[in-house]
Amino acid sequence: MVRIKDGESFESAFRRFKKACEKAGILSEVKKREHFEKPSVRLKKKSIAARKRAAKKSRRSWGD
């Protein structure tokens, strides 16, 4: 909850509100829950993301 301070413009209060929402992870949670995803699909996406992270990590450490 963002309370508008005395003499504060709407724009600055709105910026504080957006920053608070981003910090709390509200928008990412909304996007995640926008459509139902079967558990098998969710697991498959999770494994693909893990594979991508591992490949990226191996590429970065290879040059060191």
pLDDT, tens digit (0-9, with 9 covering 90-100), for 25-42: 998 889 888 999 999 999
38 to 6, 33, 35, 51, 52: CA distances (angstroms): 48, 12, 10, 20, 21
48 to 3, 7, 12, 22: CA distances (angstroms): 42, 50, 40, 25
In the chain, where the domains are located: 10-62
Contacts of 45 (CB under 8 A, 6+ apart): 37
Residue 63, pLDDT above cutoff 70: no
- In this structure, what are the phi and psi dihedrals at residue 26, rounded to the nearest 5 degrees? -70, -45
Q: What's the pTM?
A: 0.49
